[in-house]
Amino acid sequence: MSRRTSPVIPGFGLTLGYTLVYLSLLVLIPLGAMFVHAAQLTWDQFWAIISSPRVLAALKLSFGTAFLAAVINGVIGTLLAWVLVRYTFPGRKIIEAMIDLPFALPTAVAGIALTALYAPNGLIGQFATALGFKIAYTPLGITLALTFVTLPFVVRTLQPVLADIPREVEEAAACLGAKPLQVARHVLLPALLPAWLTGFALAFARGVGEYGSVIFIAGNMPMKTEILPLLIMVQLDQYNYAGATAIGVLMLVVSFILLLLINLLQRRISRS
């Protein structure tokens, strides 16, 4: 007579119920409340807020710098993941810990440290000033801060995928006469591309919503170095809740569309 063994966790119905409640409390209800509050505005009022020059400039700056930082980390993060997976060398553990530092370090502390380094009178910024350009208080400084914050997302996404690719595959391709670039293009790239897009999407999403590490190094000049999260805070400080929710809805919709396109591209590549 066989005995029915009980599962380690509760059944599907109970776990699904817990999941939906947890997701609703943390994500769905707050987002729904934001849309409900924004719905109190007429379409003309909503459009006037999101189409103002100040909002459009902040939108372009936030998404542009986040995209650029994600692209930079897509290149640098791939190289770092490759070195950490394929080679063993002294100091490897230290580099591993440094990559995870943005996860543990408060973002405000990171922003203060980066500003101190790259300000016009900073340790590194003074050399940039001598060459005739500034790093801090410019879009370049914002991109630098976002690159620092989002680097672990790309590296940690690519590392397990690289570790699962047998070296024998590369050696077999080389023995058949493939050059290093051909091996990278035809052997490694197809296996890495879905994970690379995932890391890119995570880095991009984190960069769009980043506040703490950017607020100090940006300079916060309207129409020049003012990011969308800061503009939302400005509206809240002025008790303009309608304006803040309208900008938040705009930010959410644009982020959702971009992430949806990235996910669709990733799914298409995975199926091909």
List pLDDT tens digits, range 72-98.
999 999 999 999 988 888 988 899 889
Three-state secondary-structure class, residue 106: coil
H or E element at residue 71 = helix 53-86
pLDDT for 214-264, tens place per residue?
A: 999 998 888 999 999 999 998 888 888 888 999 999 988 888 888 888 888
pLDDT digits (tens, 9 = 90+) for 131-161: 888 999 999 999 999 999 999 999 999 999 8
Give the model's pLDDT for residue 145: 93
Residue 265 vs residues 148, 160, 169, 193, 259: alpha-carbon distances, Å: 26, 21, 26, 10, 10
How many CB atoms are located within 10 Å of the residue 5 CB? 6
pTM above 0.95, yes or no: no
Rg (CA), the chain: 23
CA distance 77 to 63: 20
CA torsion angle for 223, 224, 226, 232 (degrees, to 10)? 10
Average pLDDT, the chain: 86
pLDDT value of residue 169 = 76
pLDDT tier at 63, thresholds 50, 70, 90? very high
